Amino acid sequence: MKLSVIGAGYVGLTTAACMAQIGHDVFCSDSDTEKLAKLKNGHVPFFEPNLEGVVRTSSNSHRLRFGSTEDAIAWADVIFICVGTPPLANGEADLSAIEVVARTIAKCASGYRLVIEKSTVPVQTAVQLRDHLAIHNKNGLRYNVASNPEFLREGCSVEDFLHPNRIVAGVDSPHSAEIMREIYRPVVEQTFDCPIHSDCCSGKRPTFLVTDTSTAELIKHASNSFLAMKISFINMVADLCEVVGADVTKVAEGIGLDARIGPAFLNPGIGFGGFCFPKDLQAFIRIADKSRCDFSLLKEVEKINQRRVEQIVEKVRKELWAIQGKKIAMWGLAFKPNTDDVRFAPSIAIAKVLLAEGAVVSAYDPQASETAKAALSEITYCANPYEAAAGVDAILVVTEWEEFRQIDWRRVLSLVAQPVVVDGRNLFSPSEVSEHGFRYVSVGRVDAFPSKSQASLLQRIAS
């Protein structure tokens, strides 16, 4: 089937490349001509595991091409809208890019088109999109509008697309539903060649859920808001654990063993970030407010998350007494591992607070240093975690990169000015770090400190 994808960001490019991987002919466009030039040469302009390989393979097989939005609209009968919907100052989603695409479709297309919104949008956007196409229709365009929300996690978006647990198709006609079923048939039936490791596929076929467009739009916002609520809930449990001396990791394990709850998103820490959860939570709150529905529950979820930054800084402050003039290393900048995305990342807010209090900050991230520089120009970016730790008074673990699990603590001890680790992601075992001579502080667990004799011995060995 011939498909066009408008927008080559995380969602759009993953959608385009994976649609080509499962056998469709795909035309991907973007308003950023520099990005298109990179993509035509096989280079993905952001870090996402496995995506560059799929883009190159699909491009080499001529199933994936890149070009202008006008050409993409004229080329295919099915058009996926995957443009950005960033938050406005009041928390509502900015739909101006959706409107621009709608006008362009109405201007450039003739004959039949199925227009599918894949961008995260407020409920009833499909209704507005349908009306907008009608108002600006100049060439006898015939169309249906569908909603096909994405559930891709940054860091494993290719795997999530090819092996999803559900595909939601919000449609306005039986004809639209049949087209959507045909598009996703290779994914539902798992009949394509998987380009990534074989164990990524559970063997279970995804559920293909057909709804109306408004229901599909609500599913997306409700899903992300519910997951954000789980994170804020376990963070509040972590705060209680610190007061009463309990271990939040065991509490979370016990909660997660209940099949009605499950273990996912019960990892306490510095709070959620990224471009999806904060934005979608705000947008859902605004949707509820405009609909005169009391969604104070979600407002509290947002407040809890916003407080996490100050709480983690307070842990640093408590260990160092005062932050003014102290050197602090941040291990990690991306909002989660396996991505270079720092949009709404807690690291940015934490670094700004530390800088405002007079700290000297160094940082290392395996992928996100370049993307972070636009938001944080005042810190020192390092080539590895050891360089970042040299001469510091505290190490703050911000992102749970797998690389950090292999750290040589004896080497780190020989580099730091003070052996203090504040683990905002509970990445390490308290006993392991304290046994190497560090004062170890985490989230929702009892702090761990080396004995005086042990610390003295380890310091002499390190020096």
Which residues are identified as catalytic? Answer: 276
Q: Helix 296-320 crosses helix 277-290 at what angle (to 10 degrees)?
A: 140
Distances 208 to 14, 122, 189, 252, 291 between C-alpha atoms, Å: 19, 22, 11, 31, 29
Residue 234 falls in which region: left (phi positive, over 0), alpha (psi -120 to 50) or beta: alpha
Other C-beta atoms lying within 10 Å of the C-beta of residue 301: 25
Note every long-range contact of 187-193, with CB atoms under 8 Å and residues 24 or more positions apart, other chains counting. 187/22, 187/161, 187/162, 190/163, 192/21, 192/22, 192/23, 192/162, 193/21
Note every long-range contact of 10-13, with CB atoms under 8 Å and residues 24 or more positions apart, other chains counting. 10/46, 10/48, 10/152, 10/154, 10/157, 10/275, 10/341, 11/82, 11/118, 11/119, 11/150, 11/152, 11/157, 12/80, 12/82, 12/83, 12/118, 13/39, 13/44, 13/51, 13/55
In the structure encoding, which two tokens stand for residue 407, read together?
Answer: 């750290």
What is the gyration radius of the CA atoms in the chain, in angstroms? 24
Helix, coil or strand: residue 386: helix
Q: Is 118 exposed, middle or buried (0-12, 13-18, 19+ CB in 10 A)?
A: buried
Note every long-range contact of 53-60, with CB atoms under 8 Å and residues 24 or more positions apart, other chains counting. 53/195, 54/17, 54/18, 54/20, 54/21, 54/158, 54/195, 55/13, 55/17, 57/21, 57/195, 58/17, 58/20, 58/21, 58/26
Q: Please state whether beta strands 78-81 and 2-6 pair in parallel, antiparallel, or not at all (unpaired).
A: parallel
Helix, coil or strand: residue 295: coil
Tell me how far apart the alpha carbons of residues 311 and 268 are, in angstroms, rounded to a whole number. Answer: 12
Query: What is the 3-state composition of the chain as percent helix, strand, coil, each rounded to the nearest 5?
Result: 45, 15, 40
